Amino acid sequence: MQVTPTDIADVLLFEPKVFGDERGFFMETFRQSEFELLFEQLGTPCPQFVQENISRSAKHVLRGLHYQQTQPQAKLIRVISGSIFDVAVDLRQDSKTYGHWVSQVLSAQNKLQMYIPAGFAHGFYTLSDFADVLYKCTDYYAPHDQKIISWNDPHLKVDWPIEAGISPILSEQDSLALNGEF
């Protein structure tokens, strides 16, 4: 597996080795021992994942920007069908990149995975007719601890790839999120 840092060094892209032929392909998406080695080489403790989730979203659905305040979760995000514009926002107050965000198109086709450390908000916008997103988490989902930053927060200025004239489809919870709540 190849690892590439993003513009926020702790947010990483993982590219698995894909073995394909006329029958299709095979790829290993996660191996704890390989992750331990990669994180050791980066000088960072390896995350221990405890929960895996899947979501399906229709085109133009925007989920986020979500985080857990007292039980922060690191996440490993990948798409198994369709494509998304994935966003991570640094909420670590002692970080040089506090309040900055990075993005990556993740798709079933490019097979990239994005690792988002604890202390980040996460969200995505569905680019394809639908997208199935898998994500591993290092802590359990705690609904009472979830916080949401408005997807269009004027301080963050996330450059979502939303076409002119299209309004993103939001959950009620996401539509009620406030600006500057981080």
* Residue positions annotated with a catalytic role: 66, 135
The neighbour count for residue 99, using CB atoms within 10 Å, is 15
Q: d(Cα 182, Cα 149) in Å, to the nearest integer?
A: 7
- Judged by phi (left if over 0) then psi (alpha if -120 to 50, else beta), residue 152 lies in alpha
Cβ atoms of residues 93 and 65 within 8 Å: no
DSSP, collapsed to helix, strand or coil, labels residue 179 as coil
